[in-house]
Amino acid sequence: MSIIGNIFWLILGGIILALFWVIAGLLVCLTIIGIPFGLQCFKFAGFVLWPFGRRVEVGNFGVGSLIGNVLWILLLGWELCIAHLVVGAIFCITIIGIPFGLQHFKLAMLAILPFGARIRNQRDLV
């Protein structure tokens, strides 16, 4: 079932979203200081490309992850989180859009705290 959801996700804009995240990651990686933030953008791109059948586990914060998350939230994390929450709520208005809205809620969780978050396959957790 997750394969069908991922195919519809790709058709309805997943490829474009992933491409934007890759471009953003490349732009941020132009500076040495921005490389950790660029790596998080690449994590987003991989998750945005194929979100169904995967889940986000937030936690395992160290000092570096805490500092990275604070900087991320101040610079661009809260805007991304709000955008994904709004788009997810719009998708959840219709019954057909609920699975896509839930994926945007996962992206919102990753958008607010990317450092220390892990993306896992559902099959690995069973």
Dist. CA 2–CA 89, nearest whole Å: 21
Residue 113 in this model has a pLDDT that exceeds 80: yes
Contact 41, 107 (CB under 8 A): no
Contact 10, 4 (CB under 8 A): no
Q: What is the pLDDT of residues 48-104, one digit of tens each?
A: 888 888 888 887 777 888 888 888 888 877 888 888 899 889 989 999 889 888 888
DSSP string, 14-76: IHHHHHHHHHHHHHHTTSSTTHHHHHHHHHHHHHHHS-TTEEEE-----HHHHHHHHHHIIII
What's the whole-model pTM score? Answer: 0.77
The residue extents of the domains of the chain are 2-125
Q: What is the pLDDT of residues 18-30, one digit of tens each?
A: 888 888 889 889 9
Dist. CA 6–CA 15, nearest whole Å: 10
What integer is the mean pLDDT of 28-48? 87
> Of all helices (H) and strands (E), which one includes residue 2?
helix 2-9
